[in-house]
Amino acid sequence: MTAPQITLVPATTAHAAALAAFVQHNLAHLHAYLPAVAELASIDAATEYLHAAQEWAADGDVLEWYVFSGAALCGSIRVKEIDPFDRKAKIGYFLGKEFEGKGIMTASVRLVLDYCFNVLQLNRIELRCAVTNAPSMAVARRLGFTLEGVLRQDECLHGVLIDQQVYGLLRAEFAGPGQESGNVKLLPHT
């Protein structure tokens, strides 16, 4: 059996129904670390968010892709705080619970990193995650990110100040798209 084609599609308001359904299906999973994403469970909330995401992309501030496995929405990747002068940005992602452990996010983020380094000509990508978010830390390690430190009480999550690990990846350290990205296609932002 061959792996399904993974497609990374720029976020548009056309994804509102799929995003709302995805969030409803993954509500508890997303709420643990991404309560703001968990609030996109209605079509109206998803539409409003996606409209803003399109505006951010048009301004070059944030680029967001939705990850599809075949026809199923399975996650998202976001590049934010894009700084062309200092050639750096931050990356974040989420994946539906039923899609974990299949290499989808690692392959997809690797392709977005390739886009960041070779199309946007960035030199540094930063990734932050809660010190208890083992799946996100595993993705960072598989992609070659270096743990640079811990930001103590950096984020208020569910009323509790939590520590975040900070990872960095430099263009010179990036290994390229890799074989696992062979079934992943990235549609660029226009």
Q: Average pLDDT of 105-126? A: 96
Tell me what pLDDT residue 1 has. Answer: 38
Q: Average pLDDT of 143-152? A: 97
Give the domain CATH number at 48: 3.40.630.30
Residue 185 lies in a domain: no
Tell me what pLDDT residue 190 has. Answer: 78
Neighbours of 2 (CB within 10 A): 5
Q: Show the tokens assigned to 176.
A: 């390229």
| DSSP 8-state secondary structure symbol assigned to residue 71 | T
Residue 187 lies in a domain: no
Residue 189 lies in a domain: no
* pLDDT-derived band at 86, boundaries 50, 70, 90: very high
By CB atoms closer than 10 A (0-12, 13-18, 19+), residue 64 is buried
CA distances from 93 to 1, 67, 86, 155 (A): 27, 10, 23, 17
Residue 180 lies in a domain: no
Tell me what pLDDT residue 87 has. Answer: 98
Q: Average pLDDT of 165-180? A: 89
Per-residue pLDDT tens digits for 8-19: 999 999 999 999
* pLDDT-derived band at 183, boundaries 50, 70, 90: confident
Residue 61 lies in a domain: yes
Q: Average pLDDT of 82-103? A: 96
Determine the structural domain holding residue 37 and report its residue range. Answer: 6-96+103-174
Q: What does the mean pLDDT of the chain come to? A: 94
Tell me what pLDDT residue 176 has. Answer: 84
The number of folded domains in the chain is 1
- pLDDT-above-90 percentage for the chain: 91
Q: Average pLDDT of 82-98? A: 97
Residue 68 lies in a domain: yes
Neighbours of 106 (CB within 10 A): 19
Residue 118: its H or E element: helix 104-118
Q: Is the pLDDT at 2 greater than 60, yes or no? A: no
